[in-house]
Structure 1
Amino acid sequence: MKRALIIVDVQNDFCEGGSLAVDGGASVASRLTDYVAEHAGDYGAIVTTQDWHIDPGAHFSEQPDFVDTWPAHCVAGTAGAAFHPDLDVSGVDAMFRKGQYAAAYSGFEGHLAQAGDAEGTSDDSPGLDEWLSRHGITDVDVAGIATDYCVKATALDSARVGYRTTVLRDLCAGIADDLEPTFRDLESAGVRLA
């Protein structure tokens, strides 16, 4: 068994003060930093995902419905797309960016970020599943923002492609007041909650 930690979208725009802020986002950033400091040795890899929007089409709206359309957020190269300053990414093994030209909720839609590439990724850079497979990962822990959107989508895809998947509930922040439906959906798909 070789385990990876996937830290999902702990970015400024998803934390307090951001354009699409989730209550508790900054606290998640701090708690994840502490968690990684204590548990880095438990993981064969630690990776992050980032929304990295260039022109995501109808994903952005001036009259968002907050289901399929959203206010502009995490625009590539902006301060809003950067990791929250309370999240220490110095020990991260790989960063995956998603959503350049379309909505993307799951980290498994992302590609390895490439230094020097204006878009932040390259068409031939590996996707998250390919990268995890190459590194012999069998088990995945998922944490980050938002529990009921990108964390959920990432965990569901992780389980679907065959990783033993756990969502670390205390290291996530959600949008909905009631996250029980999200947790039921995850458990129904074989995702463990811890």
Structure 2
Amino acid sequence: MLIIVDVQNDFCEGGALGVEGGAEVAARIVGLVRSQEERYDRILVSQDWHRGDTDNGGHFAVPPAAPDFVDTWPVHCVAETPGAALHPEMAALAAELGDRLEIVQKGYGLPSYSVLEGTVVATDESVQDLLADGDWERIDVVGLAYDFCVRETALGAVAAGAPVRVLSDLTAAVHPAGIPALEQELAEAGVEITAS
């Protein structure tokens, strides 16, 4: 299985919470899928999908408070807005692959980092249940941002008993200086860190 985490307009350069290198990560992930699609029995693509009429359980910083970029954030990925849409390259891939690429949405009204907290849109299937029910040879995790949603997804999947790899060259971090400590944490939890 391949889990592509939150490659959305708001998380790429120019977005409400843009991560440096986000657009390049999008292009690289699309290249990987186009060249190696047959390696994966399922491909999940997640979207942060927040409500626009609440602070989503304290996830959005409410003025005059400023976001701390750890627990509170600028308003981002509000459902049905351009910022919540998949990055254009990822959207093109989704159109190309059709049902082969399954959209997962998470965070509607609450803070949500792990894709395991989401639901497959087409089937209403819980990703947590999907992982628990599967006999997965391996789960590869890629996307944005490495130190938040990719981290939580990888840790959640390995805790569910799945063998997990993070393809680190297909990620970008909010706080790049913290990557060495992040990778140590992931490795100690049993997550393999490798390049694509």
**Does the TM-score normalized on the shorter chain lie above 0.5?**
yes
Of 19, 22, 33, the residue aligned with 1:22 is: 19
Q: How far off is 1:86 after superposition?
A: 1.6
Q: Percent of aligned positions with the same letter in both sequences?
A: 42
CA distance in 2, matches of 1:132, 1:8: 15
CA distance in 1, matches of 2:136, 2:108: 26
- For structure 2, the 5+ residue unaligned runs are none
Of 22, 31, 40, the residue aligned with 1:34 is: 31
CA contact (8 A) 1:167 1:192 kept: yes
CA distance in 1, matches of 2:128, 2:38: 22
**Structure with more of its chain in helix, by fraction:** 2
* Runs of 4+, deviation exceeding 6 Å: none
CA contact (8 A) 1:6 1:46 kept: yes
How many pairs align? 182
CA contact (8 A) 1:44 1:137 kept: no
| Secondary structure in structure 1 of the residue aligned to 2:88 | coil
CA contact (8 A) 2:131 2:157 kept: no
Give 1:111's aligned amino acid.
Answer: T
Alignment pair present for 1:140 and 2:130: no
CA distance in 2, matches of 1:47, 1:140: 11
2:102 corresponds to: 94
1:118 corresponds to: none
Cα RMSD between the aligned structures? 1.5
| Secondary structure in structure 2 of the residue aligned to 1:171 | strand
Alignment pair present for 1:59 and 2:56: no
Alignment pair present for 1:159 and 2:158: yes
CA contact (8 A) 1:49 1:98 kept: yes
Deviations 1:61-117 (A, max 9, x none): 131111100000000000000000022223243111110011000000001114xxx
- Closer, same or farther: CA 134–159 of 1 in aligned 2, 3 Å: closer
CA contact (8 A) 2:141 2:166 kept: yes
Alignment pair present for 1:112 and 2:120: yes
Q: TM-score, normalised by structure 1?
A: 0.89
2:182 corresponds to: 182
CA contact (8 A) 1:142 1:166 kept: yes
